[in-house]
């Protein structure tokens, strides 16, 4: 099988155990190249742990990971060179400016200084961060931090984007810009692996979704094939994960 015919991401029987509690428990997942893939689940379901394992930041307890036909962690360096990451906790360097951070990331991915500097200037303008001047990232709002993280993820034009809650804290204009950029990247052949609690966004963007609960995969498929009648993605999510046991109607005072 040629490398280009392999899926973008494939995991088999992936497990991550902390103490005696599995955060991810026997996950099997296949994401084809050029797919906008939504990876969903309730809080604590194992989404961020899965992304950390895909990035090589957390070693799996057991199981196999292949990205772009290469095995993680054996070929971690070559894999990471082709990934753009927007982490949930936006781990940025607070004592750098946004431009300094993005340029630094470009250099880390092997871009020469002139190219990294030029792309940084273009990205800072695109994300409307060029007006921040010498303001340090530590002084940025959460939305600004997300935009800087997205700019850094784009600078080396990766083949795969791993995005953990990328729109959290971003205003409507910034979120629209980010969505348009990501959709354009998919049209150019990139693969996007997205987690988000905003199901309406996932429903508009994603070709395919998977839902995990308590570390286990409970749904995986094209959105249209998962619907029962006129169900929304939120309806599907609540149906497979389980809705709240109580509502406000059960509280006399509410």
pLDDT the model gives residue 138? 94
User: What would you report as the CA-atom Rg of the chain, rounded to the nearest whole angstrom?
Assistant: 19
Domain spans of the chain, in order of start: 1-82+183-242
pLDDT the model gives residue 245? 63
Cis status, amide bond into 53, omega within 30 of 0: no
Q: Which residues of the chain have pLDDT under 50?
A: none
User: What is the dotted CATH code of the domain comprising 1-82+183-242?
Assistant: 3.40.50.300
- Two tokens, residue 136: 């340090």
Report the distance separating Cα 68 and Cα 91, nearest Å. Answer: 25
Torsion sign across C-alpha atoms 8, 92, 50, 143 = negative
pLDDT the model gives residue 88? 81
């Amino acid at each position: 099988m040629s490398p280009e015919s392999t899926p973008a991401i494939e995991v088999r029987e992936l497990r991550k155990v902390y103490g005696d509690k599995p955060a991810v428990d026997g996950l099997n997942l296949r994401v084809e190249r050029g797919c906008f893939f939504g990876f969903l689940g309730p809080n604590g379901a194992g989404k961020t742990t899965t992304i950390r394992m895909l990035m090589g930041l957390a070693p799996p307890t057991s199981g196999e990971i292949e990205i772009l036909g290469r095995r993680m962690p054996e070929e971690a360096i070559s894999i990471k060179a082709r990934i753009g990451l927007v982490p949930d906790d936006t781990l940025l360097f607070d004592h750098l400016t946004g431009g300094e951070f993005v340029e630094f990331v470009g250099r880390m991915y092997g871009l020469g200084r002139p190219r990294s500097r030029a792309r940084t200037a273009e990205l800072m303008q695109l994300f409307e961060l060029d007006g921040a001047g010498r303001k340090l990232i530590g002084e940025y709002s959460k939305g600004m931090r997300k935009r800087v993280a997205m700019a850094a993820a784009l600078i080396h034009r990766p083949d795969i984007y791993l995005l953990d809650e990328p729109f959290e804290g971003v205003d409507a204009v910034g979120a629209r810009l980010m969505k348009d950029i990501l959709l354009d990247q998919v049209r150019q052949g990139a693969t996007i692996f997205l987690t988000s609690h905003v199901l309406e966004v996932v429903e508009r963007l994603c070709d395919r979704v998977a839902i995990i609960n308590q570390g286990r995969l409970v749904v995986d498929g094209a959105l249209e094939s998962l619907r029962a009648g006129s169900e929304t993605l939120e309806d599907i999510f609540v149906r497979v994960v389980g809705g709240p046991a109580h509502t406000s109607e059960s509280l006399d005072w509410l």
